[in-house]
Structure 1
């Protein structure tokens, strides 16, 4: 239908399956938007896949500078206005976690797909609210930035595990031991449950835990501990956990912001080989090592070392796959139930640590205090009543 005075609606855009450029908008113009999202979108723009039509930030000067530097034509301080005027196909959310639910819901209601930075949202209840706004047939869908599970190295190891070439997974270790000083926590929204969502388990280690789950499959139970050892924050600054997987494998998980010798590491001991990944903020083929058991034939072991063309884990690697899913009208990886599994493990880790119990997968649902807040209202961990009243948020 042609728009007219009687029908003021804008003409519908051609289907994404037609091959037209995907209209993208960036919400939040801080470091992650500048350093990761915009470069990935720009690379795909060079290949004719995307065009960045707008950016949004509450800071007018910041969004104007972002648009000027990145060649983005339209700057906004109002998300709803941008959605109505620009009608993006894809909205990338790069704001603090406390805003993710509201902004993701607004974009989905406007018909846009969402690619949201981790942590996805502060709670499982928030995640369910976002899921409720997704399309039921062909999108739009909301995906989480879990870029560490993308790239050639993760794909190669995932295939070897799925084919049982390495035998049964038996023992695993997942380590995110980073270092953050007091200046890092001077940013007002960091270290607070309501605004950051959680400590290193939620805000840092979730990446490696997501990759571990992507490789090993569903977990079944977790037993954890958490502590504040250095920083004066609401959340923890270190946590440890023991996890049992449905396939029988057992894992240890360590998340820390107290570790001067920073590293991100996953180790999988299988019946026929040990797989190790050691890196910091992203990995390539060279960061993976596969050590065969002594009885593995040399030719077979050599074949395991062929990772193929090197595609590093990155926002770009995930965005390429997301764009393909958009064009096909298919649910992307790291969305829906696939995206929720890592948040569910993190939530269970906190519940186990704060209640001194073993938590089983699937047990945290509506009515459980940890479903709506990762601190679960636990004395000594939940925000102080005065601070809660001041911020106007649930304890």
Structure 2
């Protein structure tokens, strides 16, 4: 009997989020092992490697791919480098797991899709909230039609980031972060919303820079209609002192809710059957888990797909749908009109960049002049 395959992984970028990736790999040993790290700051890469027991450190991603035999690379760098590094991984024949956002624009996502068609190498996006046991259970109930039609949904990411948070050079800038809380914070929650409700049809939105020292928005609010007729509100904020992340789904026969902050457990979900449908309470039996939804669950699902020879989640096509929702939020907010799915195409400026060159407030540099 052959021994189970052990997958070899590397991390590019050893900032704060890289620790979540390293911990996920550690939790899944011996199925996968972290064999190398890379960072433009070699000393930081070596320190990270020493902390996590990684044998090799590199200052250059090209050298990493030329030297190591890898099955998966985790891209944990600031957003502005995600596309170039993912393309490098595809050319090296190594699947990449990229922190959100996958890219800075729909145009960049389409570049990756083109490269995927040429190379056959997938690029996956970290949307870990899809993979908690309760979310998986809800998705299965929806697929089976147990809860009836989805009618109304609420998606809120109400977080707080002070001015010091935006002192990091790449934060709060369209050109290197791609957007504000719509792209960098709330995207996790509305990705789960889309995963449960399916394709969206039209978005109407507002966005504003209420108080933070950024070029991007610090608040956005979207209204969405889905192809199945469901209506939803999506709020993304980094100016909200009482922080919470909340999703509520109202179906014909039940309401399903989760409230958490940076990751949920099964206990964070509630299920309320509609009058006359009390028997459905017995259907809400997600796997009990005290672990917060996180990178480990998604990485485990990826390894399961590798083992089974199936396509792993979250694909570029899935990530593009979520990114298109973000782009539509900006396009509607700045253009003052609803945006339909598929409308951002051709020469549309919001295909090229999330701001579309139409931000209605001055940049911080312009404001200082």
TM-score w.r.t. the length of structure 2 is 0.95
Distance across 2 between alignment mates of 1:316 and 1:381: 40
Residue 384 of structure 1 deviates from its aligned partner by: 8.2
List gaps (5 residues or longer) in structure 2: none
State which of 17, 23, 44 in structure 1 corresponds to 2:28: 44
State which of 35, 41, 44 in structure 2 corresponds to 1:53: 35
State which of 110, 124, 127 in structure 1 corresponds to 2:106: 124
Distance across 2 between alignment mates of 1:181 and 1:117: 22
What residue is the counterpart of 2:321 in the other structure? 341
Distance across 1 between alignment mates of 2:346 and 2:75: 26
What residue is the counterpart of 1:91 in the other structure? 73
Report whether the alignment pairs 1:304 with 2:283. Answer: yes
Matches within 5 A, 1:232-247: 232-247=213-228
What residue is the counterpart of 2:357 in the other structure? 377
Residue 365 of structure 1 deviates from its aligned partner by: 1.6
Residue 35 of structure 2 aligns to a residue in which SS?
strand
Deviations along 1:362-384, whole A, 9 cap, x unmatched?
A: 11123111001000011535868
Residue 320 of structure 1 aligns to a residue in which SS?
helix
Does structure 2 retain, via aligned residues, the 8 Å contact 1:125–1:366?
no
What residue is the counterpart of 1:205 in the other structure? 186
Distance across 1 between alignment mates of 2:118 and 2:5: 23
Report whether the alignment pairs 1:80 with 2:62. Answer: yes
Structure with higher Rg: it is: 1
Residue 134 of structure 1 aligns to a residue in which SS?
helix
Stretches (4+) displaced over 3 A = 379-387
Does structure 1 retain, via aligned residues, the 8 Å contact 2:97–2:124?
yes
Distance across 1 between alignment mates of 2:135 and 2:142: 11
Residue 91 of structure 1 deviates from its aligned partner by: 0.5
TM-score w.r.t. the length of structure 1 is 0.89
State which of 325, 338, 347 in structure 2 corresponds to 1:367: 347
Distance across 1 between alignment mates of 2:283 and 2:264: 18
Distance across 1 between alignment mates of 2:311 and 2:318: 10
Using the TM superposition, name which of 270-279 and 322-331 deviates more: 322-331
Distance across 2 between alignment mates of 1:216 and 1:332: 20
Matches within 5 A, 1:41-190: 41-45=25-29, 48-134=30-116, 139-190=120-171
The CA RMSD measured in Å over matched residues stands at 1.8
The 1:100/1:219 distance shift into structure 2, 3 A limit, reads same
State which of 227, 246, 260 in structure 2 corresponds to 1:265: 246
Residue 63 of structure 1 deviates from its aligned partner by: 0.5
What residue is the counterpart of 2:259 in the other structure? 278
Distance across 2 between alignment mates of 1:384 and 1:263: 28
Deviations along 1:176-235, whole A, 9 cap, x unmatched?
A: 000000010011110001111100011000000000000010000000000001012110
Does structure 2 retain, via aligned residues, the 8 Å contact 1:172–1:268?
yes
Residue 261 of structure 1 aligns to a residue in which SS?
strand
Distance across 2 between alignment mates of 1:220 and 1:235: 25
List gaps (5 residues or longer) in structure 1: 1-16, 388-395
Deviations along 1:303-358, whole A, 9 cap, x unmatched?
A: 12311342642100000011122233322121121121110100100000000010
Distance across 2 between alignment mates of 1:102 and 1:382: 29
Distance across 2 between alignment mates of 1:228 and 1:180: 13
Does structure 2 retain, via aligned residues, the 8 Å contact 1:116–1:142?
yes
Residue 87 of structure 1 deviates from its aligned partner by: 2.5
The 1:346/1:367 distance shift into structure 2, 3 A limit, reads same
Does structure 2 retain, via aligned residues, the 8 Å contact 1:87–1:110?
no
Distance across 1 between alignment mates of 2:93 and 2:361: 38
Deviations along 1:258-303, whole A, 9 cap, x unmatched?
A: 100000001111111111110011111111111111111x4x2331
State how many pairs are aligned: 365
